[in-house]
Amino acid sequence: GAGVSQSPRYKVTKRGQDVALRCDPISGHVSLYWYRQALGQGPEFLTYFNYEAQQDKSGLPNDRFSAERPEGSISTLTIQRTEQRDSAMYRCASSSPRPEQETQYFGPGTRLLVL
């Protein structure tokens, strides 16, 4: 079946603009995760959802970052008033209910460049 999809794949924006990044998980996957990966580093956790409930947002760096998953499927990560330091690859992953809940399947990522 189809994997995790993310859009847009590339986003160039000017400092101060808001951006919305979309993630469409694998059908039937309950949990959805957002990570951010700076160049030359490993991904870092931002937030995750079970169904529509945001379970953990401890990784969101500040209040300019927010995420939602209103119907328990597609999720949107929004960055308000973007800054150059927000430039990174944003990765989404999803996982199914038991028995393979521990395995996260990743999308291709959205590369964000803030000028």
Partner 1 sequence: AQSVTQLDSQVPVFEEAPVELRCNYSSSVSVYLFWYVQYPNQGLQLLLKYLSGSTLVKGINGFEAEFNKSQTSFHLRKPSVHISDTAEYFCAVSKAAGNKLTFGGGTRVLVKP
- Give me the residues that bind partner 1 (CB under 8 A), please: 3-4, 31, 33, 35, 40-45, 48, 50, 56, 59, 91, 93, 95, 98, 101-109
Smallest distance, Å, CB 42 to partner 1? 3
Q: Which residue is it, tokens 């944003």?
A: 90
Nearer to partner 1 by Cβ, of 27 and 101: the residue is 101
Smallest distance, Å, CB 16 to partner 1? 29
Q: Which residue is it, tokens 């994997």?
A: 3
Q: How many CB atoms lie within 10 A of CB 78?
A: 13
Nearer to partner 1 by Cβ, of 69 and 91: the residue is 91
Q: CA angle, 78 as apex, 69 and 33 as ends, to 5°?
A: 50
Smallest distance, Å, CB 45 to partner 1? 4
Nearer to partner 1 by Cβ, of 44 and 68: the residue is 44
Nearer to partner 1 by Cβ, of 7 and 31: the residue is 31
